[in-house]
Chain A
Amino acid sequence: MSQLADFIHQKRQQKPILSMTHVVYGYPSVEESLSWMERLMQEGVDFIEVQFPFSDPVADGPSIVAACHKALEQKLDVETCLSQLGKLAKNFPDSRIVLMSYLNPMYRFGLDKLAKRAAEENILGLILPDLPIEQAATYQAACKANGIDPVWLVTPATPKDRLAMLAGQASGFLYCVARSGVTGHSVHEGKSKVNVLDDYLAEIKTHASAPMGVGFGLRHREQIEQLTGKADIAILGSALLDAYNNGGQDQGIKLIKDLFH
């Protein structure tokens, strides 16, 4: 069984829904982003989704785009990032870090090397939203060889047969995008209806043996409550970044407490 799925199943014995909080590596500085991750794990979040910035993050909305561009004002390096994350994670055995980025910076680093180095640093999952499963054979093999999981995304617009295929191939966890559009609050926000989300998650569950994480547009306690029992992980991205931008780490922690406790 997947180490990542195993970890999720164990944690789920104690909690009805797990938290995954998103942090942009290097925003506003490398040091500050690492300190923010440390604080989050001290506060007991189950997962951190660390985004390694790319100049052209097409699946992200304005909050995350701005943070990525700000972070890229300094030179960022994948190898350094992985080592720093690994070192940090060692002190928090009850939490896990997964790495998210776009294909190009990871492709330049080398996908084989990425899988190997991630595994060495105990980063058990990788999320690359612009790598379609059809083009991912060697990446999948590299992940498998190193005992980590490529995390696939499904969306409300994914056709049923494709959803079954993606859910069937999922290991670690399956990232269920809650609505159309990009991450966070923006003009590019798809409509999402509550009952549609329930049906959608139920449909996924019939195909997926892997745990399910839900993200995109989560920012209210009711949304998290609605997911409880239907998904394993609630993924908090732009809302947390917005809170952090408004009032620093404390405001971010307050949001997490409001949503999850």
Chain B
Amino acid sequence: MQSENGFYGQYGGSYIPEILYSSQQQILHAFEEAKNDPEFLAELNKQWQQFSGRPTPLTFCANLTEHFGGAQIYLKREDLNHSGAHKMNNVIGQGLLVKRMGKKRVIAETGAGQHGIATALVAARLGLECTIYMGAKDIERQYPNVFWMKQLGATVVPVTTGAQTLRDALDEALRDWSSSHEESHYLIGTSCGCAPFPEMVAYFQSVIGNEVREQSVAQFGQFPDRLYACVGGGSNACGLFLPFLDDKDVEMVGVEAGGKGLELGEHSIRLSHNLGQPGIAQGFATMFLQDDAGQLQETHSIAAGLDYVGVSPIIAHLAEIGRIKMTYAMDDDVIAACTLLLKKEGIIPALESSHALAGAFKDAPNLPKDSKIVINLSGRGDKDIFNVAKAVQDETFPQFLTDYLASYPTNHADHKEQNA
């Protein structure tokens, strides 16, 4: 979706410290040139295919469709990307842009670690130095991802300011970029931040919706009646929705994280029920969860990838004008949706994507039997093994952890911090 000077309605823009002006302009121009360069696009498509395994399938779910007795349910299988999530589409695109700009280092923020891993994978492949900022609390909660980032050669920096989560990691990545802008690129993981990041990330993610356009016509002879995607930062939703923006009959539903409840601090709902307010922070204008004095607030979701205080300005705008309908799913509904997909279709969804499932499952029984819905399965759930085990109260898991710990060699303590 084309912005107007970086703005989507009242959202977006570029509100960054003056020191970053030149680097921001450089990205703006490099992206404009690259997306009009057939050679760049050919390389992008080649890497998407050969490194990430695109195109990803559109999978019909016969059992779920029968279970709900309403709409015919299809899943867009972004979980089958290399790295297990749609994040790969964007990091491949920006990684190639970094090479094109001649920069040698990438900086990224990560919450759950999915974008951190995707960035580390691409940095390794493209021979780029890689620094990942991650909240110290997220590092504790998501250590397996940190482990892989380090194994891939990335430097993972724990962020100990503020709430020590994604928002703080993003602030710290911006601070790094302020000092390292000459040789470093800030590889933002979602369609947020200063212009042109929202537009650029949405552009690279639009491969999702573009494939669905072809696949839906090929598989069932029409465009889908309705699309569902979870909305954290908003990149997988932008990717699925934007290519259908002009197809007025295609309805779009974005599902935010309802978390544990609607009190401030318990959820990540920015766009429905007047819970978020317009604000300008972290480089752009959007709807933020904030108090009446304009201080940004804590968020919660069972899915760390949805736990962000702001949201893509593109999604904020499309929700405001009514093109996208916004809803939310509570933590409990999300676990139920995840479990149902496992049992009925043999697919392990990420907890982020399970929000989209939960939103769609609520509507499916009430939709006509000949209607077709496509749910973006943005990532696979292997990473959520600890959280899901806890949520379903698996009895054997604690014993497994105890046994594993008992057999873990601890005499190499001084090697542990090597890449920290």
Report A's interface with B, CB cutoff 8 A. 54-62, 65-66, 69, 72, 75-78, 102-109, 129-132, 135, 152-155, 157-159, 162, 166, 177, 180-182, 186-190
Contact = CB atoms under 8 A, between A and B. Distances in A.
10 contacts: A55-B296, A56-B167, A58-B174, A58-B178, A104-B294, A109-B293, A132-B18, A157-B181, A180-B178, A180-B180
B282 interface: yes
B21 A188 contact: no
Interface of B: 13-23, 25, 161-162, 167, 171, 174-176, 178-182, 277, 279-283, 288, 290, 292-297
A154 B21 CA distance: 10
Contacts of B14: 132
B233 to A, nearest CB: 16
Given A107-B279, A132-B14, A180-B179, A58 B171 contact: yes
Contact of A75 (B167, B171, B293): B293
A182 B178 contact: yes
Contacts of A109: 293-294
Contacts of B17: 58-59, 129-130, 153
Contacts of B13: 135
B179 A181 contact: yes
Nearest to B278: A107
B281 to A, nearest CB: 5
Contact of B293 (A65, A76, A152, A186): A76
B155 to A, nearest CB: 11
A105 B22 contact: no
Contacts of A131: 15
A180 B161 contact: no
A198 B182 CA distance: 21
A80 to B, nearest CB: 11
Nearest to A53: B295
Contact of B280 (A66, A130, A190): A130
Contact of A130 (B16, B25, B161): B16
Contacts, number: 131
A127 to B, nearest CB: 11
B16 A132 contact: yes
A43 to B, nearest CB: 30
The 10 closest A-B pairs by CB, nearest first: A108-B294, A181-B179, A105-B294, A188-B179, A59-B17, A104-B294, A155-B19, A55-B295, A153-B18, A190-B179
A109 B295 CA distance: 11
B15 A103 contact: yes
A75 B175 CA distance: 26
A196 to B, nearest CB: 13
Contacts of B277: 108
Contacts of A177: 18-19
B18 A129 contact: yes
A188 B180 contact: yes
B281 A103 contact: yes
B295 A182 contact: no
Given A62-B161, A77-B293, A105-B293, A56 B175 contact: no
Nearest to A101: B294
Given A132-B18, A154-B18, A61 B175 contact: yes
A102 B282 CA distance: 10
Contact of A158 (B18, B175, B283, B293): B18
Contact of A59 (B178, B181, B292, B294): B178
Contact of A104 (B19, B162, B176, B290): B290
Contacts of A72: 295
A181 B293 contact: no
Nearest to A188: B179
Contacts of B21: 132, 155, 157-159, 162
Given A65-B161, A107-B280, A182 B18 contact: no
Contact of A69 (B22, B162, B293): B162
Contacts of B295: 54-55, 72, 104-105
Contacts of B25: 159
A72 B290 CA distance: 13
Contacts of A56: 162, 167, 171, 281-282, 296
User: Which of B161, B283, B290 lies at the interface centre, i.e. has the most chain A CB atoms within 10 A of its CB?
Assistant: B161
B175 A188 contact: yes
A157 B295 CA distance: 29
Given A153-B18, A159-B22, A180 B181 contact: yes
B193 to A, nearest CB: 11
Contact of B179 (A65, A158, A182): A182
A104 B296 contact: yes
Contact of A103 (B280, B290, B296, B297): B280
Nearest to A103: B280
User: Which of A102, A104, A180, A190 lies at the interface centre, i.e. has the most chain B CB atoms within 10 A of its CB?
Assistant: A104
B175 A58 contact: yes
Given A58-B283, A109-B293, 18 more contacts: A58-B171, A59-B175, A65-B162, A65-B171, A102-B281, A103-B15, A105-B295, A107-B280, A108-B277, A109-B294, A129-B17, A132-B14, A155-B18, A177-B18, A180-B19, A180-B178, A181-B178, A188-B180
